[in-house]
Amino acid sequence: MEEMGIVIVGGGIAGLATSLALHRKGIKSVVLERAESLRSDGAALGVQTNGWKALEQLGVAHILRLSSLPFYQIRSVLVENGKRYESAAPVSYGEARCIKRNDLVKVLADALPQGTIRFGCRVASVKLDETTSFPIIRVQDGTNIKAKVLIGCDGANSVVAEFLRLNRTKVCASRAVRGLTSYPNGHGFRHEFVRIKTDDVLCGRLPITAHSVFWFALVPNCSADSKNFKDQEAVQKLTLRSIKELSEEWKEMVKKCDKSSLYMSSLRYRTPWEILFGKFRTGTVTVAGDAMHMMGPFLGQGGSSALEDAVVMARCLAEKIEKCGDSRKRIEEGIDEYVRERRMRLFSLSTQTYLTGLCIESSSRVVKLMFMVFVMVLFFDPIHHTRYDCGRL
């Protein structure tokens, strides 16, 4: 049986960021990634001020700024009963950019020591050693790994979350389509996040550079067992049917998109009350990123909150290990501190996301209005969450 210190399951944004944060604190970790190479799924993500603060602490923000333009406002368009309503507001007091997911994953991976990521390692199960109570990770090839700390960053269907006996994530009614479109001669769009809502669909567009944009569409009433999720030609046709009421500019954007970037997925989430009451530690095992707090894309905070997790996790563990050693008790205290610090932040984020999603997805105008009132009362400053600072690493 191989013995290791800190093992991270999942080589996505949360896993790589957590490993890098630990590395910056002088703590070695190993990332087990089931794929044979860095993940290429997904298109891009918007990162607002709170996310850039975390990236600064990780030491990679300056690299990512080279391949992304800032955007300065959010413009919302509602088309209802043939009428068009439009409003615009500043993004926040700080920085907001859209970055390609592949760029972020590559930059995080390149900053790690060689050999940190082990590809082709699909975790089958987790159990606690009967003698030491440290986790034993069983890899699908039959290998057993004994770790001092296990951090699950393995997404919505997390094996580690299952070990912690967290409920399975729930599924939203809508499906999300994401894509990238290139404009060789420049797209000419304003530096803004524009989103447009009709009776049938919600679409959004974000500039990445002067020649490329990221866009998404939330498609309702798409069967959960659809076999077309990975058929990019079918996904493109479905999206075009969904946006038939929008202008030619939007239709051309979908028609000319890079089909290899097209990505359709279910929208999964943990309810706010699960975040508030969930047990996120057993022994020296915990979770971060989507495995901990999967949320809908309605606030665009999934990636940024995972980056925050990484910074807080590394800080809490390092403080205990540096002062008191790496005994099981001290490690557990560090994880408990991490969970305490993250819980209320994530509860607030997940509540705002959950209510916003209900506003968007509800077909009843009365129900929609009710949830809009809840959002306005509970979150009178709708961009307050972007001002959050996860602190120094």
CATH code of the domain covering residue 253: 3.30.9.30
Q: Is residue 82 part of a domain?
A: no
> Would you state the pLDDT for residue 372?
67
| 274 shares its domain with 367 | yes
> Would you state the pLDDT for residue 88?
83
> Would you state the pLDDT for residue 312?
98
| 260 shares its domain with 281 | no
Spans of the chain, pLDDT less than 50: 224-225
Considering 268, 293, 314, which residue would you say is the last residue of a domain? 268
> Would you state the pLDDT for residue 315?
98
pTM, entire model: 0.94
Per residue in 155-210, pLDDT tens? Answer: 999 999 999 999 999 988 788 999 999 999 999 999 999 999 887 788 999 999 99
Residue-number span of the structural domain to which 222 is assigned = 172-268
Residue 189: φ, ψ to 5°: -75, 150
Q: Domain count for the chain, please give it.
A: 2
Based on the number of CB atoms within 10 Å of its own CB, is 186 exposed (0-12), middle (13-18) or buried (19 or more)? exposed
> Would you state the pLDDT for residue 13?
97
> Would you state the pLDDT for residue 224?
47
Per residue in 201-233, is it b (16+ CB within 10 Å) or e — as a string?
bbbbbbbbeeebbbbbbbbbebeeeeeebeebe
